[in-house]
Structure 1
Amino acid sequence: MIFILVYCTAGISGGHINPAVTFGLFLARKVSLIRAVSYMIAQCLGAICGVGLVKAFMHNPYNRLGGGANTVAPGYNKGTALGAEIIGTFVLVYTVFSATDPKRSARDSHVPVLAPLPIGFAVFMVHLATIPITGTGINPARSFGAAVIFNNGKAWDDHWIFWVGPFLGALAAAIYHQYILRAQAAKALGSFRSNPTN
């Protein structure tokens, strides 16, 4: 589903369906502040509408399953849940950076077409790892929409984790991709060019 959503919206908004991804791209100066804030507001409103539709069409399963609201699972503490959200979002946002890197696109003409595929797989893999811990947030808009519509105490108890974790994960991915990997690549390229060829 993520693959389809990113693919279908790539030509409209660049495939922005997650505030954490938008935040990471903003930090990397790929999106302006006004555009980033506008996207985040639209993402949250879309999530609220989406969860509202789920509640309307599937009322009994919706209530039985807690409205899809993210919570810290029994047996895990808040620190573990926060760590899972940070790591999970780092994997997602780093995959977005790698899959949409314009330097890679110039080298591999197939990359722009296939970019949504690794992003969808990253989301899938992160879900496999973090569903037992937090129900998998990694998208603050999705977590917010579920909490707003379900709207009971438990949905809001640890809600901060599903904003702070993804934003810290996005920050780490932006720093790693832009300032560590890019710096090492530039240094390696400079070293290569300075060496005389035989």
Structure 2
Amino acid sequence: MPMPSIVDRVAVGNVHDEVSHPNAIKAFVAEFISTLIFVFAGQGSGMAFTKLTGGAPTSPAGLVAASLAHGFGLFVAVSVGANISGGHVNPAVTFGAFVGGNITLLRGICYIIAQLLGSVVACLLLFFSTGGLTTAGFSLTAGLSVWSAFVFEIVMTFGLVYTVYATAIDPKKGDIGTIAPLAIGLVVAANILAGGAFTGASMNPAVAFGPAVVSLDFGNHWIYWAGPLIGGGLAGAVYELLFISRSHESLPSSEY
């Protein structure tokens, strides 16, 4: 039997089932809240470290603090959203799921909007609750070219979304699915240790978007969209084509 094409599984969806249905609205709210929790913890840890130590967020201690905060924060954010929306908390994860035919286009767009809003609200809350401390946008380390940073974000996000597929989306995941939030949090924490000193290790357009909006700093912002979306899309396509065997049936409207 020939391998099913990803194109056969990609679906646009309809407005009633994917946008206006009560369960869809609950999913959007869940993505908004989960992303708010994650960004508040991650961005807030960097602000707290800078205030308490006066050190650079990309110092060794700052990287460890950011790694732990983002890893634990994402573990919680994915866990609390998993049973409602799937706990994407990341436009790159949503795009990777769409490329693999695991979420419809309309629902995916609404997820991404909810994630972006959650990030912006989290950064606004941090700005006001800290008395106006800067919610710093992501930036490249001195001497690193934009194309090197671009590749960094692609590779790190590929690893993240590949982990999501292996532990949360793959129908053969079995008992490994119970540790999916932990595995996803750990791979983000590890990637921050690897790439945080170079690009800030976003791996998530929403995480970069909120601070950029609040601080009005959009320098090299395209990297934090293009890199993660390409990496996430590649991971979704690779895992779906190589490791998941599906029929040619279209995506059910109830499936995320």
| TM-score, with length taken from structure 1 | 0.83
Three-state SS of the structure 2 residue aligned to 1:157 is coil
Partner of 1:72: 140
Is 1:25 aligned with 2:97? yes
Is 1:115 aligned with 2:183? no
Structure 2 contact 170–244 (Cα < 8 Å) conserved: no
Partner of 1:98: 166
- 1:182 Cα deviation after fit: 4.2
Is 1:58 aligned with 2:123? no
Superposition pairs of residues 157-176 of structure 1, within 5 angstroms: 157-176=219-238
Structure 1 contact 20–166 (Cα < 8 Å) conserved: yes
Three-state SS of the structure 1 residue aligned to 2:212 is helix
Letter in 2 for 1:131: G
Aligned pair partner of 1:82 in 150, 153, 165:
150
Question: Percent identity at matched positions?
Answer: 35
Distance 1:59 1:73, change over 3 A: farther
Superposition pairs of residues 35-50 of structure 1, within 5 angstroms: 35-50=107-122
Letter in 1 for 2:200: G
- 1:179 Cα deviation after fit: 1.7
Is 1:134 aligned with 2:204? no
Partner of 1:187: none
Say which is worse superposed, 1-10 or 68-77, in terms of deviation.
Answer: 68-77
Is 1:178 aligned with 2:243? no
Mapped to 1, the partners of 2:167 and 2:78 lie a distance apart of 12
Superposed CA RMSD in Å reads 1.4
- 1:12 Cα deviation after fit: 1.2
Letter in 2 for 1:12: I
- 1:180 Cα deviation after fit: 3.1
Pairs aligned (count): 173
Structure 1 contact 104–111 (Cα < 8 Å) conserved: no
Consecutive unaligned residues in structure 2, runs of 5 or more = 1-72, 246-256
Distance 1:101 1:17, change over 3 A: closer
Structure 1 contact 92–122 (Cα < 8 Å) conserved: yes
Three-state SS of the structure 2 residue aligned to 1:177 is helix
Letter in 2 for 1:162: Y
| TM-score, with length taken from structure 2 | 0.65
Partner of 1:7: 79
Structure 2 contact 92–232 (Cα < 8 Å) conserved: yes
Mapped to 2, the partners of 1:23 and 1:102 lie a distance apart of 16
Which of the pair has more CA radius of gyration? 1
Mapped to 2, the partners of 1:100 and 1:157 lie a distance apart of 34
